[in-house]
Structure 1
Amino acid sequence: MAPLLPFRDINVHVSGSHYSFLSPSSPNSPTLVVDRPSGDLRLHDGKLLGARRISSIAGILGIIRLRLDKYIVVISKARPVGRIRGHMTYKVQETELLPLRERPLHDHDEDTYVALLKSMLKTGPMYFSYSIDITNSFQRQGQADLALPLWKRADDRFFWNRFIQSDLIDLRSGLATTAGYRHSQGPQPGADPYILPVIFGVLEIRPTTIKTTPLTYILITRRSRHRAGTRYFSRGIDEEGHVSNFNETEQTIVLNDSGNGGFGGRLGSDNKEMQVLSYVQTRGSVPVYWAEINTLKYIPKLQVRPIESSVRSAKLHFDEQIQTYGDNYLVNLVNQKGREIRIKEAYEQLVKIVVSSPREGVEADKITDEKLHVIEPKKEKSKYDRLHYVYFDFHNETKGLRWHRAQLLLQQLEQGLRADGYFRGVDYPGDADGRMEVRNRQTGVVRTNCMDCLDRTNVVQSMLGRYMLTRMLIDLGILREGDEISQELEFENLFRNIWADNADIVSKAYSGTGALKTDFTRTGNRTKAGMAQDLSNSCTRYVKNNFLDGPRQDAYDLFLGTYLPSTGGAGSNLIFVDRRPLFIQAMPYFLAASIFFVLVGSFARRDTSTAVWPFRLIMLVFLGIGAATFHFIWSHGTLFVNWPKLNTPPYAVEGYQDALDRVRTNPILGSTVARHERGKSIARLGFMEEGKKRIE
């Protein structure tokens, strides 16, 4: 019996005692009932009476408990993106939170939680399909058990709404909750169609033509739900081996796609077999314990813990990478000079420890002391010897707009790229489940990183994507050996813009702005307009990373379940209240007022009969106040960074306390700060418990 796929249409009914969800196209399926206000879930045969229909939805994103109430998160509107082997895919356009309490209780924290969730749901690019598993690459799909429901086939790393689907998954597994007590009632397969996996990232599907051959070009980027966060609040690796900003990008072409693939396994256009060719790359933060600490300086303070402390976590990370992808080519693009050299050296020390009997090779030229640095095992003795470290000094090699020198890295990787290949599958004729005959597998992956895994990484990934796409087309006979895809001008424009859009979306999720250097990705050249846009993005990143990213990180932590709100009473132990001393809170307002009065005094007209010196004296006073407040803010920047309130990093707690202690000991300001402290800020700000653990 084929598994039930997620419902494509769901009607929502509501009464004072429950919400009920039922698919009108599957009237014989059980109704999902969510009791109010407890949130207990159950399946009911038939329609419940006494409820009124309030809306039709595209799916249930999940259920989340906040401080005072539970909320059902539903997809109220979805936009079709395109078909993959006949299966339609969708982008989440609008969502809605349905509270379980008939008269919702409000307090400051609850309202903030709801606002954080709505903000993330509104800005986060999320995609789904009712009939194909887009959380997995085509190669992993080919190995999946199609008898399983869609959510059980999903890759746990990219099942973005996995946490808020926990209640539904528990119901399906037979772990029901009634009146607050959990009990087993046996598996409930009727819940399967209500569980809809969603990915966070990029999904582009474009029909196109190359050399008169029609095909579908697809680019999918899946963001991992593990250690997800914002630029300066999520770096490096955690104890479970998850790295920050980990993304899997899959480039695919589908030939002879008539739109019927996967439904009856029919042949493609002109009775030719439908073929799928895909190539996967990954990116992720350097897998050691490191952090960059915001202090309002443009370049944050870098911390790197001893490498020995990272070995266990790094092995967990590489275990998963090798098991999933095979050989790993670790392409490191950080600078070999300045502050980034510490990250470069840490990564190389880690690889030398993990790889048995490492053999190093350095290729030098006249431009840099180290063009390519390669660490390979002498003889394969363990699974970690499937790691191949390649360092490339991207900035030095490409400075002066010498972008063609990035091809030096491609030359170093070319042998491995050809050996590891790409996935190639053909639909089985007449297979109702849409299974594919696998003709070739990808046996290795390129894992690229720079400091942020954004800008340099994007350029290199698009370069590798272009190379592998060319190899695919040559193997298919569409291109001849020696041909370049860039000769196909229409497709070249499509390719460049899709990869540039991919770069921008990945970057916005992490840094808050579009990627840098996308003018090169879009046009193949660096332009003055592109440099100006990069300057604008860099300035915007500075503002967002210091003053706006705290709430963004809180939203990730809340949605992904890395923070669980306490269920205390309304109005008690508020988390989002600013507990800094009032004098410190007022500093930015003093600075803004001083700047305002100085600007008004500089440009406003004044009567010629008015005495000048009192006006100038007032201007000097405000100028002095502005200079003093700016110096104070700049010298104690940690006090003014908008840190995450839910999972405050330990280094932020320590830095905050150090800066506050310096102010307290100041002979002029110390007494003022102590007199105006509200509940002494150490009472709640920033999870002092974590700070204590870190100090111990």
Structure 2
Amino acid sequence: MFCSAQRLNDLGDESRLLPLWRQAEPRFLWNNYMLEVLIDNKLEPYLLPVVQGFHHFQAVIGKDIIDVNLTARRCTGRNGTRMWRRGVDPDGYVANFVEIEQIMQFNGYTASFVQVRGSIPLLWQQIVDLTYKPKFELLKLEEAPRVLERHFLDLRKKYGAVLAVDVVNEHGGEGRLCEKFGDASQHVAGNDISALGFHHVCGHVHFDRLSILYDQIQDILERNGYLLLNGKGEKMKEQVRVVRTNCIDCLDRTNVTQSMIGRNMLEYQLRRLGVFGAEETISSHPNLDENFKILWANHGDDISIQYSGTPALKGDFVRFGHRTIQGILQDGVNALLRYYFNNFDAIDLLQGHYIVSVGRDTAATSQKGCLEASFPLALGLVLIGFLFAAMSLRQVQYDFRHIFFSLMWAGISIGIAAFVRANGRVFCNRPRLHNPR
């Protein structure tokens, strides 16, 4: 659970004798900072490593019982919440990087398939303002090839060859990121880059067309491989390539895409073990199909809650296989909640990147607090202005000059609103326990 089955198998039996916290990969150890004092005091028997999350289900296929586990390991290299951690840092760590391992166990056999997700590995940001979707800002374009290569080099060292699946929108601000990602990727050797036209094919509701996108990468995935161990723990097959998927947040579209890849890989494994026939699919077994959908839907929600504060959007498709009215409405609610939760981030406190001390940054905090406190005042002035404009408008029938006062008050309100919107970054709250990096 604390590292992939393939890595654990490569390390050998000796690694299983180590304390649990030593078995975990340091990049996925979320309570590493809190364990430091205990480690220094030689309290290893009491240390419990913490990783992102774990889900499991058991299904019956005829007389066969299979166990399927799904583990998410979120990297601590560039952690933080949605709007406050984007892109890649100079060391090649990307925001919201998660290693997902799907393990299937049947009759003594163990099959494992690993895929990863992570923010677009460019230097970019979205500074929170009052708009729903702040503008994407590309930084240090001359550094893009270097940091991109460093990121993919690290992936190749850990996983082998990389298939990068990009499912961002090809238009607007996302399109610019997609284009720059493609341009910078040309300088990186040893990777397959596949930009899937997610919105072009699926639109906003037709996710049943994902099979069209899957056909574009099917040949590569079949060569991708997966770990297969027999009942004696002997390696019969290994995974030689990892699929790296990203959208903008690496939450919603990414989870839909990765669940599709995981579904097809599980079918490959079941055919290899003789559980499925050549043309048999998960969909032909209602119990397995339902449990698999719920598994990935819950998994996507857990990853999304930590990064954005809400469950994943488009979760109804993963959970039920199609979009629903209730799911679309719930997506609207979650989208509004994300807009509010954009301003919260205390993960740096948990990880030790932000150290609380008496009197720290008090001057800067108080100055920033004055600016942020001005938003309620500005909102109040706008509402009062419109109120006076409405009152003056009602008096026009008695005195025509009131139309001038009505326009004046409305103009003042619109002017204040325009000023606030133009300076949205100044009027937005900022996380207090966040260390920009």
Tell me if TM exceeds 0.5: yes
Give 2:222's aligned residue. Answer: 418
Are residues 354 and 307 of structure 1, via their aligned partners in 2, closer, same or farther at CA, if it must alter by over 3 Å?
farther
Structure 1 residue 580 displacement after superposition = 3.8
Q: Does the 8 Å CA contact 1:591/1:625 hold for their aligned counterparts?
A: no
Q: Does the 8 Å CA contact 2:208/2:322 hold for their aligned counterparts?
A: no
Q: Does the 8 Å CA contact 1:590/1:625 hold for their aligned counterparts?
A: no
Structure 1 SS opposite 2:362: coil
Q: Does the 8 Å CA contact 1:557/1:647 hold for their aligned counterparts?
A: yes
Are residues 596 and 204 of structure 1, via their aligned partners in 2, closer, same or farther at CA, if it must alter by over 3 Å?
farther
Structure 2 SS opposite 1:334: coil
Q: 1:238, 1:583 → 2: CA distance?
A: 29
**Normalization by structure 1: what TM-score?**
0.57
1:249 to 94, 100, 104: 100
Are residues 307 and 595 of structure 1, via their aligned partners in 2, closer, same or farther at CA, if it must alter by over 3 Å?
closer
Give 1:521's aligned residue. Answer: 318
1:632 to 412, 419, 428: 419
Are residues 392 and 622 of structure 1, via their aligned partners in 2, closer, same or farther at CA, if it must alter by over 3 Å?
same
Give 1:332's aligned residue. Answer: 166
Q: 1:306, 1:586 → 2: CA distance?
A: 33
Give 1:153's aligned residue. Answer: 23
- 2:348 corresponds to 1:557: yes
| Aligned positions of 1:109-508 closer than 5 A | 134-144=1-11, 145-172=15-42, 191-200=43-52, 202-256=53-107, 274-355=108-189, 385=190, 387-399=191-203, 401-428=205-232, 436-508=233-305
Are residues 590 and 451 of structure 1, via their aligned partners in 2, closer, same or farther at CA, if it must alter by over 3 Å?
closer
Q: 1:505, 1:585 → 2: CA distance?
A: 33
Q: Provide Cα deviations, 1:304-340, integer angstroms capped at 9, x if missing partner.
A: 1344313333233222211111111000111222211
Task: Calculate percent identity across the aligned residue pairs.
Answer: 35
Q: Cα RMSD (Å) of the superposition?
A: 2.9
Structure 1 residue 647 displacement after superposition = 4.4
Q: Does the 8 Å CA contact 2:24/2:49 hold for their aligned counterparts?
A: yes
Structure 1 SS opposite 2:210: helix
Structure 1 residue 223 displacement after superposition = 0.9
Which of structures 1 and 2 has the bigger CA Rg?
1
Give 1:48's aligned residue. Answer: none
Structure 1 residue 291 displacement after superposition = 0.9
Are residues 523 and 598 of structure 1, via their aligned partners in 2, closer, same or farther at CA, if it must alter by over 3 Å?
same
Q: Provide Cα deviations, 1:15-57, integer angstroms capped at 9, x if missing partner.
A: xxxxxxxxxxxxxxxxxxxxxxxxxxxxxxxxxxxxxxxxxxx
Q: Does the 8 Å CA contact 1:235/1:291 hold for their aligned counterparts?
A: yes
Give 1:606's aligned residue. Answer: none
Q: 2:50, 2:231 → 1: CA distance?
A: 25
Structure 2 SS opposite 1:388: strand
Are residues 619 and 522 of structure 1, via their aligned partners in 2, closer, same or farther at CA, if it must alter by over 3 Å?
farther
Q: 1:279, 1:302 → 2: CA distance?
A: 33
Q: Provide Cα deviations, 1:385-436, integer angstroms capped at 9, x if missing partner.
A: 2x111111100111274434322332222222222211112343xxxxxxx2
Q: 2:365, 2:204 → 1: CA distance?
A: 49
Q: Does the 8 Å CA contact 2:135/2:173 hold for their aligned counterparts?
A: no
User: Which amino acid letter does the alignment assign opposite residue 257 of structure 2?
Assistant: V
Q: Provide Cα deviations, 1:485-518, integer angstroms capped at 9, x if missing partner.
A: 1111112111111111111111121122221111
**Normalization by structure 2: what TM-score?**
0.88
User: Which amino acid letter does the alignment assign opposite residue 588 of structure 1?
Assistant: P
Give 2:395's aligned residue. Answer: none
User: Which amino acid letter does the alignment assign opposite residue 23 of structure 2?
Assistant: R
Give 1:260's aligned residue. Answer: none
Q: 2:231, 2:409 → 1: CA distance?
A: 75
Q: 1:458, 1:214 → 2: CA distance?
A: 26
| Aligned positions of 1:35-54 closer than 5 A | none
Q: Provide Cα deviations, 1:71-122, integer angstroms capped at 9, x if missing partner.
A: xxxxxxxxxxxxxxxxxxxxxxxxxxxxxxxxxxxxxxxxxxxxxxxxxxxx
Structure 1 residue 155 displacement after superposition = 0.7
User: Which amino acid letter does the alignment assign opposite residue 157 of structure 1?
Assistant: R
Are residues 623 and 469 of structure 1, via their aligned partners in 2, closer, same or farther at CA, if it must alter by over 3 Å?
same
Structure 1 residue 463 displacement after superposition = 0.4
Which structure has more helix as a fraction of its residues? 2
Q: Does the 8 Å CA contact 1:240/1:316 hold for their aligned counterparts?
A: yes
Q: 1:312, 1:635 → 2: CA distance?
A: 34
Q: Does the 8 Å CA contact 2:83/2:128 hold for their aligned counterparts?
A: yes
Are residues 571 and 291 of structure 1, via their aligned partners in 2, closer, same or farther at CA, if it must alter by over 3 Å?
closer
Structure 1 SS opposite 2:335: helix
Are residues 571 and 612 of structure 1, via their aligned partners in 2, closer, same or farther at CA, if it must alter by over 3 Å?
farther
Are residues 280 and 573 of structure 1, via their aligned partners in 2, closer, same or farther at CA, if it must alter by over 3 Å?
closer
Which structure has more strand as a fraction of its residues? 1
Which protein, 1 or 2, shows the higher relative CO under an 8 Å CA cutoff with sep ≥ 6?
2
User: Which amino acid letter does the alignment assign opposite residue 49 of structure 2?
Assistant: P
Are residues 442 and 647 of structure 1, via their aligned partners in 2, closer, same or farther at CA, if it must alter by over 3 Å?
same
- 2:373 corresponds to 1:585: yes
Q: 1:405, 1:466 → 2: CA distance?
A: 15
1:534 to 331, 338, 360: 331
Q: 1:596, 1:152 → 2: CA distance?
A: 62
Where structure 2 has 5 or more consecutive residues not aligned to the other structure, the ranges are 391-397
Q: Does the 8 Å CA contact 1:575/1:645 hold for their aligned counterparts?
A: no
Q: 1:480, 1:192 → 2: CA distance?
A: 48
Q: 1:622, 1:169 → 2: CA distance?
A: 65
Structure 1 residue 627 displacement after superposition = 4.3
Structure 2 SS opposite 1:446: strand
Structure 1 residue 194 displacement after superposition = 2.0
Q: 1:584, 1:484 → 2: CA distance?
A: 55
Are residues 331 and 593 of structure 1, via their aligned partners in 2, closer, same or farther at CA, if it must alter by over 3 Å?
same
Structure 1 residue 169 displacement after superposition = 2.6
Pick which of 639-648 and 506-515 moved more. Answer: 639-648
Where structure 1 has 5 or more consecutive residues not aligned to the other structure, the ranges are 1-133, 173-190, 257-273, 356-384, 429-435, 603-610, 651-696
User: Which amino acid letter does the alignment assign opposite residue 155 of structure 1?
Assistant: E
